[in-house]
């Protein structure tokens, strides 16, 4: 017999997987034009082409799990929403300073929060994560291929981000289920070290 806590963790994990599949389903059935195909393919790949993006997005899932409660889905949702806005800004060609510094800061700060197991109020967590997400979104949008569809590119990097958040949430839940919360903190320390490296190089 599973206890309530284990059932709750399994339910959250199943919901994450279901959301990813539901988000991807319409794209699988759509009639995609050449420009849209280019945009979608590049958008899907973009978060995976930079370790800074990948580390930050998985870290968001880790930290959301660590915070628990509604933060498990609201913190990632805040990231995705703000990143989408940032993506539109980046695609518009608007020049925004210190974007790379903001991305490095996101990895460093999120890593430190995870390593220290810091739990902020939900509103503060969402605002903090959303601020970092704007930087990631602007960077994504600014690097969109010239011949790509902006909508398809945006859908692509949003879907990949949801998947990366899902990985972080799933790993965090598994660590808690196995009684190994220290694993998450060690992962946070590693992310913080990587964020510091990004500032130095």
| String of DSSP letters for 7-28 | HHHHHHHHHHHHHHHHHHHHHH
Q: Where does the pLDDT of residue 24 fall: very low under 50, low under 70, confident under 90, or very high at 90 and above?
A: very low
pLDDT for 112 equals: 96
Is 131:16 a contact under the CB 8 Å cutoff? no
20 pLDDT exceeds 60? no
Question: Within 13 Å of residue 115, how many CA atoms lie on the same side as its CB?
Answer: 16
pLDDT for 164 equals: 93
15 pLDDT exceeds 80? no
| Domain range annotation of the chain | 34-200
Number of other residues whose CB lies within 10 A of the CB of residue 110: 26
pLDDT for 175 equals: 81
Among 102-106, 132-136, 185-189, where is mean pLDDT lowest?
185-189
Q: What percent of the chain has pLDDT over 70?
A: 80
If phi over 0 gives left and psi between -120 and 50 gives alpha, with beta otherwise, what is residue 117? left
3-state percent breakdown (helix, strand, coil) of the chain, nearest 5: 85, 0, 15
48 pLDDT exceeds 50? yes
Greater pLDDT, 126 or 34: 126
Closest by CA position to 157, among listed 174, 137, 176, 142:
137
Distance between CA 52 and CA 108 in Å, rounded?
10
Q: Where does the pLDDT of residue 14 fall: very low under 50, low under 70, confident under 90, or very high at 90 and above?
A: low
pLDDT for 22 equals: 43
Terminal-residue alpha carbon distance, the chain: 51
12 pLDDT exceeds 60? no
pLDDT for 3 equals: 61
29 pLDDT exceeds 50? no
DSSP label of 2: -
Q: Where does the pLDDT of residue 67 fall: very low under 50, low under 70, confident under 90, or very high at 90 and above?
A: very high
Among 45-49, 120-124, 186-190, where is mean pLDDT lowest?
45-49
Closest by CA position to 63, among listed 119, 122, 134:
119
pLDDT for 21 equals: 47
Closest by CA position to 86, among listed 74, 71, 99, 104:
99
Q: Where does the pLDDT of residue 5 fall: very low under 50, low under 70, confident under 90, or very high at 90 and above?
A: low
Helices (H), 68-121: 71-91, 99-115
Look over the chain and give the mean of its residue pLDDT values, rounded to a whole number.
83
């Amino acid at each position: 017999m599973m206890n309530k806590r284990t059932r709750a963790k399994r339910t959250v994990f199943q919901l994450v997987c279901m959301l990813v599949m539901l988000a991807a389903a319409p794209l699988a059935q759509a009639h995609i034009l050449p420009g849209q195909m280019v945009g979608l393919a590049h958008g899907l790949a973009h978060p995976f082409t930079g370790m800074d993006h990948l580390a930050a997005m998985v870290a968001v899932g880790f930290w959301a799990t660590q915070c628990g409660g509604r933060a498990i889905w609201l913190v990632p949702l805040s990231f995705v929403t703000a990143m989408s806005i940032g993506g539109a800004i980046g695609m518009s060609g608007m020049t925004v300073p210190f974007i790379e510094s903001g991305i490095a800061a996101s990895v460093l700060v999120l890593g430190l929060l995870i390593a220290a197991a810091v739990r902020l109020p939900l509103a503060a967590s969402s605002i903090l994560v959303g601020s970092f997400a704007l930087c990631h979104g602007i960077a994504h949008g600014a690097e969109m291929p010239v011949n790509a569809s902006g909508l398809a590119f945006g859908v692509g990097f949003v879907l990949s981000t949801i998947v990366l958040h899902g990985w972080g949430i799933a790993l965090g839940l598994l660590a808690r289920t196995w009684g190994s919360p220290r694993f998450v903190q060690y992962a946070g320390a590693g992310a913080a070290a990587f964020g510091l490296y990004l500032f130095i190089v």
